[in-house]
Chains A and B, each alone.
Chain A
Amino acid sequence: MDLNLDWGVLLQESPTGDGPYWQLLWTGAKWTVATALTGWALALLVGSIVGVMRTLPYKPLAWLGDAYVEVVRNIPLLVQLFFWFFVWPELLPREIGLWYKQDMPYPEFITAALALGWFTAARVAEQVKSGILSLPRGQKNAALALGFTLPQTYRLVVLPQAFRIVIPPLTSEFMNIFKNSAAALAIGLTELTFQMKQMVEYSNEVIVSIAAVTTIYMVMAFAVNRGMAWLERKSRIPGMIGGGR
């Protein structure tokens, strides 16, 4: 078998005018990281709020949280991307909608980060909820019995434990958001996969292009994984889950 790989192509100038091919990929990687991290910040914030809402003793709030998760989980990410790109600006008040479509800076990036953030938030909410529900009921009671308000009970007793428990599943979601960001090529964000397609088209080095991008994705996911493992170790409580290792 002769694959005839020309790794040197990475150093060749691309006809897109963006410098050599490696630089094309580097730009893509930067957009991928920026989109994933922005999306993750949104997902963590919204997901935590929604996850907590679903465990509160106020029916309408819990119902609202459940409804959000059900809707978002059941629609493909790609469809959601198109929704945020094409439909959402039409739903906004006219002026804001026009601005969104015409003048907003980095429209593809902002839309992709929003879509990924809201999409991943539903999954984070599911993890946070199950983390909270996995705690013994006595924890909440013990806090309430000492006079804590419900917000204090969550902030000081419930969430510090729940978040520690869900670090491993959250790690998967954090890695997923990097990989899912590839879908943003559909709305024209020049992220890593988009750049890979460019490189394939212009250079005809399909295997080299895919191999290079695959490596970059793997490095990213691995970095996230190691970072989260470090966080898990740092936050481990003596005697609790995994503490005996």
Chain B
Amino acid sequence: MNADASTMIRFVNVNKWYGRDHHVLKNINLEVRQGEVVVVCGPSGSGKSTLIRTINQLEPINDGEIWVDSVRVNDPRTDINTLRAEVGFVFQHFNLYPHLTVLDNITLAPIQVKKITRDLAERTALELLERVGLAHKKDAYPANLSGGQQQRVAIARGLAMNPQVMLFDEPTSALDPEMIGEVLAVMKQLAESGMTMMVVTHEMGFAREVADRVVFLDQGEIVEDARPEEFFTNPRSERARQFLRQILAPLHQ
């Protein structure tokens, strides 16, 4: 691959089918550069969640290549666990481990996967909790946190592995409206710190304000890949125009 050295994620002609007939990802070509924040949006069923899950192979692909920081993800010789340790992933439903405290949720992977000492792992975890504003909740269990708090802990858990990239799969879709802001604020702060991020979201305000690029996916295809101001003011495709109308002014179509 003679990709630019600063390319962090690279899709080359990626295809994926569910079963024989359902073509969920169609010939995807996409690059995310180091430090870039890319928002992926599109109607439901367009394949955005599948797309982001292929990067750490939670969803395998049938055809094409995916590269993360010059490692080919879908190469059978690639140690997928090592790669996953470098790629942070935040889920729509947080998926914190309910049987562990907030602190243990964050330190489990650094201790077990990266083999760092508990002491160091806990210090890092506390710093991260400070950063997401939840240091006072370190001994709480996930079930005793609000959705927004759980998602902030989940972000801290991802960051504790010191990843190269952070992937977000609809991180605010399961939250009550009043909690969306606190999660987006943490994500914005993370973007400003220079983290490479790929975010599947319907939060167009976040896309407009924080993203470097917006990728619009429909029926498994990348229909648009543009700077936010361009995408929001002057979308080229009719499909994107229709999507924006639905999402920005759902009552006035």
CA distance A102 to B55 in the complex (A): 62
Chain B residues 144-169 with CB under 8 Å of chain A are 144, 157-158, 161
A142 touches B91 (CB 8 A): yes
Interface residues of A in 225-245 (CB under 8 A from B): 237-240, 243
Given the interface pairs A145-B84, A146-B161, A147-B85, the reply to whether A164 lies near B141 with Cβ below 8 Å is no
> Within 8 Å of chain B (Cβ to Cβ): is A160?
yes
The answer to whether B89 has its CB under 8 Å from any CB of chain A is: yes
Q: Which of under 10, 10 to 19, 20 to 34, or 35 or more describes the interface residues of A?
A: 20 to 34
Residues of B within 8 A of A144 (CB): 58, 84
Q: Is A17 an interface residue, CB under 8 A from the partner?
A: no
Residue in A138, A143, A149, A160 whose beta carbon sits within 8 Å of that of B99 in the complex: A160
Closest to B167 in A: A145
**A136 in the interface, Cβ–Cβ < 8 Å?**
yes
Question: What A residues does B161 contact at CB under 8 A?
Answer: 146-147
Contacts of A138 in B (CB 8 A): 91, 93, 95
The 9 A-B pairs of least Cβ separation, nearest first, read A239-B143, A147-B85, A142-B95, A138-B95, A145-B89, A146-B109, A147-B84, A147-B113, A238-B141
- Contact across chains for B98 and A161 when beta carbons are under 8 A apart: yes
B253, CB-defined interface residue at 8 Å:
no
In the complex, are the beta carbons of A156 and B84 less than 8 A apart? no
List 9 additional A-B contacts (Cβ < 8 Å) besides A139-B95, A145-B56, A238-B144: A138-B95, A142-B91, A142-B95, A145-B89, A146-B85, A152-B112, A161-B99, A240-B99, A240-B143
A9 close to chain B: CB less than 8 A? no
B215 contacts partner chain A, Cβ-Cβ < 8 Å: no
Chain A-chain B contacts (Cβ-Cβ < 8 Å), number: 73
Closest to B108 in A: A156
Q: Judge whether A239 and B98 touch: CB under 8 Å.
A: yes
Please judge, given known A-B contacts A240-B143, A243-B143, whether A148 and B95 are in contact too, CB under 8 Å. Answer: no
- For window 198-245 of A, CB contacts with B under 8 Å fall at 237-240, 243
Contacts of B93 in A (CB 8 A): 136, 138
Q: In this assembly, does A12 line the interface, its C-beta being within 8 Å of a C-beta of chain B?
A: no
The 0/1 profile, CB within 8 Å of B marked 1, for residues 127-165 of chain A is: 000000000101101111111110010001100110010
Minimum CB–CB distance for B199 against chain A, Å: 15
Minimum CB–CB distance from B220 to chain A (whole Å) comes to: 21
Q: CB-nearest residue of chain B relative to A140?
A: B95
| Chain B positions 170 through 195: 1 when the CB is less than 8 Å from some CB of chain A, otherwise 0 | 00000000000000000000000000
